[in-house]
Amino acid sequence: MEETSKGFREGYSFLSNFTYFDKPMVRGDLTFPTNEHFYVAMKTTDPEIRKQVCEHPSKGLKKFGNSFPLREDWEDIKLDVMLYGLRYKFSKQNPKLRQKLINTGQTKLVEYNWWNDIYWGVCLKTEMGENHLGRLLMQLREEINNGEF
Architecture of the domain made up of 10-145: Orthogonal Bundle (1.10)
Confidence of residue 2 (pLDDT cuts 50, 70, 90): confident
Res 3: pLDDT: 83
Largest CA distance in the chain: 45
**Alpha carbons 137 and 101: distance in angstroms, whole number:** 8
CB 144 within 8 A of CB 98: yes
pLDDT tens digits along 18-68: 999 999 999 999 999 999 999 999 999 999 999 999 999 999 999 999 999
Nearest Cα neighbor of 122 from 107, 112, 132 is 112
